[in-house]
Chain A
Amino acid sequence: MSLNTSSPRGPAWCIAAWLAGYAAVLGGGVCVVLAPGHAAHADRGDSVVVASASDVLRPAIAQAAVTFAEGGILKGTVKFTDDAKALKPLVTKGDASVKDAAVCAAADVPDESLVVSPDNKGIANVFIFLAKAPVGYKAGKPTGDVVFDQKGCQFLPHGLCVQVGQTVKVLSDDAVPHNTHTFPLRNAGFNQTISPNDRKGVELKYAKAEKLPIEVKCDFHTWMKAYHLIMDHPFMAVTDASGHFEIKGLPAGKHEFIVWHEKKGYLDRKYAVEIKAGADSEVELKYGEKNFASFDGPRPRSITVSLGN
């Protein structure tokens, strides 16, 4: 260990082979290397890049030959193949022990961790989206605001798709204050109080696309939770109460969608769909209890090793 730079301990050359052109520093056992900017600055012609940027930035989908105007529509339903168990509500109607009972316990607050429609077994709140916009897609200005409301101490909707730069109007229809607390990975966090019965709304904007839906919570009422999916393109959807979704304007060709649900995370990392120009494509995605299963107890102390052959 050498913390004292004023007492040289013999020459210690630090040469990084990948840093041609940048002088390594000879000194008393310490060395600072100025690394050039990373792959983001392709114009600098540096050799530091781990992989060629042109390769990695190309979305892993087939080239789309048609224009986006004559794109196809993807319609689908996400269905549960097993018998869904009824979940206990998070807050029971009339429970006086609940915080702000007059507002929050005015009606049941349902557990939305896995909502299955009793009619057609459709799964609600499943996000279906493209990880990256198809080649050739030019992001226009997103039109219209999206509304994120709160009623009866529940976020409405539970799953929300937002485009980068689009305004989210955070409203409240409750007589108690809520706070909207986001937990993004790329955007700056947002944690602001929303006044009781604020129908004008507080504006929330996201500057960057996220990789996966992010959690939104209220710290006043710990059970309140929702998910926002922020993308820099409109090719995303969240299923409604009967498991239906629709994505418009997809260019013809093969697309790989991410299918994500809060209970499990990824249901599918690459769900491939072939889109024909100017036509509707209907798909049905099926997931059972097995797909949603996960270990919900204390974390195991040991890990399972490879089973081998």
Chain B
Amino acid sequence: MRSSSLHLLFCGVVLAALAGCGQPPEPIFALNAKTAALAAPAQKIVRDVLHENFGTPNNLVAWEQFPIDYGKADPAADDRLRHEPGWRLIEGRNLYMVHCLHCHGVAGDGAGPTARFLNPRPRDYRQGVFKFKSTVGGSKPSRADLQRVLEEGIPGTYMPSFVLLGTEKLGIITDYVRWLSMRGEMEEKVAVQLASTGAGSEDLQRSFREKREEDKNVTYEDVEKEVLAAINEDLAANVAEAAQDITDSWIAAEDSASVIIPKSKRPEPTSESLARGKELFLGTRAKCSDCHGPAGRGDGPQNEAFEEIKGSTPPRKYDHPGLHDVWGNIIQPRNLTRGVYRFGRRPVDVYRRLHSGINGTPMPGFSTALKEEELWDVVNYVMSLPFDGRQSAAPEDLATHHPVEERPQPVEVSER
């Protein structure tokens, strides 16, 4: 009796195990919200463009025009994968699926299974907007910038360092991420183009209702056909133009001229420099304190303003106060008293944030408003904030007795 019930139990366990061994679902590149808001036939156009030029996660298509090293065939390599062209993209995909997917999602949409539990959210690459980079203005990050994020992680977030994978593998992942970003941008650009042609499902229904008021015999299909004809007339040119724009912007980021390099060396953080930096931080010329707060805790009054939702027609406001990034997340200006700097703690890293702002966020660049020396003064002041208590006691001591390289490491303290 006892043995037969054990036997049954065993059979049950085996059956249950087998049931879970079917083929897992095939991974797909999910559509973005802008594509999803289009009418079904327009959605299909976007899907077809993407499928033709980028393929599916299991059947990747490498678009030669893009500035990505897809990997040349190397028949002599030990690794069989490298015998065929495009192996870097495949290996990038494989590594991405293992190490990155669970936060950043299959399509790089920042919506992997873990993403919903994270704050800040993992980056959604599909807009081609990256916050942490060394390049000027609104340009794209360079390969080196992205690889540095992989190597060092992003302090203060869930992004860890992947330095143990080695430089070659990180380079391969970097290119795959760039490819995902280009794919996402392509989708976004085509979807926006179709929406502006009137192919949004709401737009289409509205124009159908309007036309029906004038002529009872108009059918929805007529209206749809008209819009689709207008789309197809321009589609090839629009796709080519979007691809060219994407290519140009990523190539420009690799140009050494687009890297922000200060002409002068950082001045010593003397008490005069700190005082000048403080005046700029609090004063009316730079007004850093509007967002970052008078004490640099990231609690400035701008956090209380109601922002408009970008790109909303007619313009609508968020129903809650606060600063927002282009992904629609509410964001807090950095608390500068904690000494945690997302893209590196070297003074030049902070200088670059000040020089060109942070893409995708309200943080503007100050290179147009402040001179280089003034930017350095603000850098010095901002980097002294974690040590504020000591500084206010004896700022001269701090400046003279601890040159910046030898200063104690900032200690992570709980906020307020």
Contact = CB atoms under 8 A, between A and B. Distances in A.
A250 interface: no
A40 B138 contact: no
Interface string A179-191: 1010101101111
A22 B310 CA distance: 43
A5 to B, nearest CB: 5
B94 A32 contact: no
Contacts of A99: 290, 301-302, 305
A107 interface: no
**Chain A contact surface mostly:** loop
A215 interface: yes
Given A189-B359, A211-B193, A34 B62 contact: yes
A38 B240 CA distance: 6
A266 to B, nearest CB: 8
Interface string B69-85: 01000000000110011
Contact of B236 (A1, A53, A222): A53
A309 to B, nearest CB: 6
Given A38-B239, A39-B236, A304-B205, A222 B86 contact: no
Given A34-B85, A183-B311, A190-B137, A29 B236 contact: no
Interface string B95-134: 0011000000000000000000000000000000100000
B58 interface: yes
B369 A193 contact: yes
Interface stretch (A64-72, A160-168, A257-265): A257-265
A294 B94 contact: no
Given A4-B94, A29-B58, A186 B313 contact: no
A289 interface: no
A30 B81 CA distance: 10
Interface stretch (A116-124, A138-146, A148-156, A194-202): A194-202
A114 to B, nearest CB: 9
Interface string A190-227: 11111110100010000010011001010110100100
Contact of A50 (B84, B239, B315): B239
B59 interface: yes
Contact of B58 (A2, A57, A220): A2
B84 to A, nearest CB: 5
Given A1-B27, A34-B85, A51-B235, A195 B368 contact: yes
Nearest to B358: A191
A32 B60 CA distance: 5
Contacts of B89: 32
Contacts of A33: 55, 59-62, 86
A26 to B, nearest CB: 8
Interface string B217-256: 1011000000000001111110111011100010010000
B276 interface: no
A256 to B, nearest CB: 12
A177 interface: yes
Contact of A35 (B23, B61, B189, B245): B61
Residue of B98, B139, B245 ringed by the most chain A CB atoms within 10 A: B245
Interface in A7-36: 14, 16, 18, 25, 27, 29-36
Contacts of B137: 188-192
B285 A196 contact: yes
A46 B290 CA distance: 55
Contacts of A39: 236-237, 239-240
B344 interface: no
Interface residue tally of chain A, by bracket?
35 or more
Contacts of B138: 188-191
Interface stretch (B154-162, B165-173, B196-204, B382-390): B196-204
Nearest to A3: B97
A219 to B, nearest CB: 4
B81 A5 contact: yes
B349 to A, nearest CB: 18
Interface in A78-111: 99
Interface in A287-307: 294, 296, 303-304, 306-307
A57 B64 contact: no
B315 A113 contact: yes
A270 B63 CA distance: 35
B237 A57 contact: yes
Nearest to B101: A3
Nearest to A181: B364
B139 A188 contact: yes
Contacts of B98: 3
B368 A194 contact: yes
B284 A303 contact: no
B62 A35 contact: yes
Contacts of B65: 37-38, 40-41
A175 B86 contact: no
A4 to B, nearest CB: 7
A162 B212 CA distance: 38
A309 B217 CA distance: 7
A161 B193 CA distance: 21
B144 interface: no
A247 interface: no
A290 to B, nearest CB: 9
A264 B90 contact: no
Contact of B311 (A53, A211, A215): A215
Contacts of A307: 208-209, 212, 220
A222 B308 contact: yes
Interface in B356-392: 357, 359, 362-370
Interface of A: 1-6, 14, 16, 18, 25, 27, 29-41, 48-53, 55-57, 60, 99, 113, 175-177, 179, 181, 183, 185-186, 188-196, 198, 202, 208, 211-212, 215, 217, 219-220, 222, 225, 262-266, 269, 294, 296, 303-304, 306-309
Interface of B: 23-27, 49, 52-53, 55, 58-65, 70, 80-81, 84-87, 89-91, 93-94, 97-98, 129, 137-139, 189, 192-193, 196, 198, 201-202, 205, 208-209, 212, 217, 219-220, 232-237, 239-241, 243-245, 249, 252, 284-287, 290, 301-302, 305-308, 310-311, 313-316, 323, 357, 359, 362-370
Given A32-B89, A188-B252, 4 more contacts: A6-B81, A32-B87, A186-B245, A189-B129
5 contacts: A32-B87, A38-B236, A177-B285, A195-B285, A211-B196
The 6 residue pairs across chains A and B that have the minimum distance between CB atoms? A189-B138, A32-B86, A179-B364, A219-B362, A39-B240, A193-B369
